[in-house]
Amino acid sequence: MRAKSPKLSLTNIEFQNLNTTSGSSSPSFEVSFRAQVRVKNSNFWPYKFDNTASTVIYGGVTVGQVIIPKGKAGMKSTKKINVIHCEDDRKSGADVDHEEAEIR
């Protein structure tokens, strides 16, 4: 039997703080949110994973990371992990009003 790679998804995103500054020569924003990372294991054996991070990218610039702690998804199941992202530093973007965030 061949092992299948797990599928990761970021769901239930709840923004707690989102401040933007636009219209100036240097638009910026700060954000904090809660979310749930899901690790879906479709194998017939458990899938263990080490500490890792998911990167949040905005306008081609890394604006933060979500830390995913070490864990295990049981056979044919989905492991749900609650995470919090808090970004204190102001980050600049080319166009704060029109860009989309990309999460990897």
62-84: pLDDT as tens digits: 767 788 889 999 999 999 998 87
- pTM score of the predicted model: 0.67
What contacts 82, CB < 8 A, 6 or more positions away? 34, 35, 36
As a whole number of angstroms, the distance between CA 104 and CA 65 comes to 9
**Structure tokens given for 42:** 């479709």
Give the domain CATH number at 71. 2.60.40
pLDDT tens for 39-69 read 999 999 999 999 988 887 777 877 677 888 8
Is 53 contained in some domain? yes
Is 50 contained in some domain? yes
Domain extent at residue 73? 7-103
What contacts 16, CB < 8 A, 6 or more positions away? 32, 33, 34
Give the per-residue pLDDT at 62. Answer: 75
Task: Provide the domain count of the chain.
Answer: 1
Is 99 contained in some domain? yes
